[in-house]
Amino acid sequence: PVQPRERLRVAIQKSGRLGEPARELLASCGLTWRESRDKLFLYGESLPVDILLVRDDDIPGLIADGVCDLGIVGRNVLVEHGLEREAQGRPADLNEWRQLGWGTCRLDIAIPESEEWTGPQQLEGLRIATSYPQTLGRWLRDNGVDAEPVVLNGSVEIAPRLGQADVVCDLVSTGGTLRANQLRPVTTILHSEAVIAGPRATLDDGRQEIADLLVRRLDGALQLKESRLLMLRVSRDGLTDLLPLLPEGHEPTVMRVDDRDEVSVQVLVHGSVSWSKLEQLKHAGAHNLMVLPVEGMLA
Ligand code: ATP
Ligand code: MG
């Protein structure tokens, strides 16, 4: 039994690929912190949210055990954890609360460059080096292939050269590491990105409220990155023709401009606004066009 807590605890990777972007994301939600002396904890100052710095593999377990409430982790790690629980006959306990769109990679099967790829059946009876035995196991079952996973915790890609395995099942983003080891990816068994992982059930005590607040700010921060404010002026008569040309976005705001036969239009746009779009709007009668970045937003 875990002590009731009035502070939220978020697990992130201490170093590695996801550590820095995770800190940046939390900072963009207005969280400031003070580092513990052993550098394993960041005490939240501006919000009752503390950050625990750990190895990424430990994150699902920490949430499952109630030591942490949320985590920022790769889907690959979360899926492997879920399947492992299932294999032990326990129900899945964690969910993806949000997808973050970075830390993207694939879990791929890779074979020696010199070999042909004819399909999953080719793997029958082979030894496959991987750090993701459960995810690989599910894929093998789904494809009706009987192969032998060789579980390694690091340097999976050199296993074929060392004679430990015939092929690998490993994380790939650019494929550079595989190429350096004369391997080539032939099929993807999981598409991954960084996610916010949390329990399926709601949190106890005051933590759900803090989690809701944090996730609302995160949603704002995630949307913000993609948003621009487009402003322009147009004659009142020209407005009707112009509105359908506006880029995809929120409901536009139309304001009268004093003493003029003109209106000012503002619209929050998803994504950037191209030059050709601006030119098209100008051609349709708009002027004083302006595209602005958005600093803060709360829907
Ligand atoms: P830790 O010491 O925390 O266990 P690690 O070596 O397991 O670190 P990293 O290599 O930093 O982990 O990768 C963390 C996560 O980054 C992966 O689980 C995956 O979700 C994501 N990732 C993105 N691109 C890649 C890639 N090319 N190779 C490995 N992981 C990648
Ligand atoms: Mg790890």
Q: DSSP H helical segments within the chain, as ranges?
A: 16-28, 59-64, 75-87, 133-142, 159-162, 176-180, 207-225, 239-242, 275-283
* Burial 213-226, CB ≥16 within 10 A → b, else e: bbbebbebbbeeee
As a whole number of angstroms, the distance between CA 13 and CA 198 comes to 15
Other Cβ atoms closer than 10 A to 42 = 21
Predicted pLDDT at 270: 85
55 Cβ inside 6 Å of ligand 1: yes
| Cβ-proximal residues to 298 (8 Å cutoff; 6+ apart), any chain | 216, 220
Other Cβ atoms closer than 10 A to 243 = 14
Return the best residue to mutate from 13, 17, 100 for the ligand 1 pocket (most ligand atoms within 8 A of CB).
17
Predicted-complex ipTM score: 0.97
As a whole number of angstroms, the distance between CA 182 and CA 173 comes to 16
Question: How would residue 2 be classed by pLDDT, with cut points 50, 70 and 90?
Answer: low
Other Cβ atoms closer than 10 A to 22 = 26
**Domains detected in the chain:** 8-101+194-224 (3.40.190.10), 105-192 (3.40.190.10), 228-293 (3.30.70.120)
Predicted pLDDT at 203: 87
Q: Considering the chain, what is the average pLDDT of its residues?
A: 94
| Distance in Å, CA 56 to ligand 1 centroid | 8
Residue 276, classed as helix, strand or coil, is: helix
Which of 1-5, 17-21, 93-97, 295-299 is the least confident region? 1-5
157 Cβ inside 6 Å of ligand 1: no
- Please give the structure tokens belonging to residue 200: 């399926």
Q: Quick: pLDDT tens for 177-235.
A: 999 999 999 999 999 999 999 999 888 778 999 999 999 999 988 887 778 999 999 99
Question: Looking at the CA of 78, which ligand is closest?
Answer: 1
Sign of CA dihedral 93, 98, 101, 103: negative
**CA trace torsion 193, 195, 197, 200 (10° rounding):** -90
Q: Quick: pLDDT tens for 42-90.
A: 999 999 999 999 999 999 999 999 999 999 999 999 999 999 999 999 9
Residue 3 has pLDDT above 90, yes or no: no
Strand partners, 254: 265
Question: How would residue 4 be classed by pLDDT, with cut points 50, 70 and 90?
Answer: low
| Distance in Å, CA 289 to ligand 2 centroid | 48
Predicted pLDDT at 92: 83
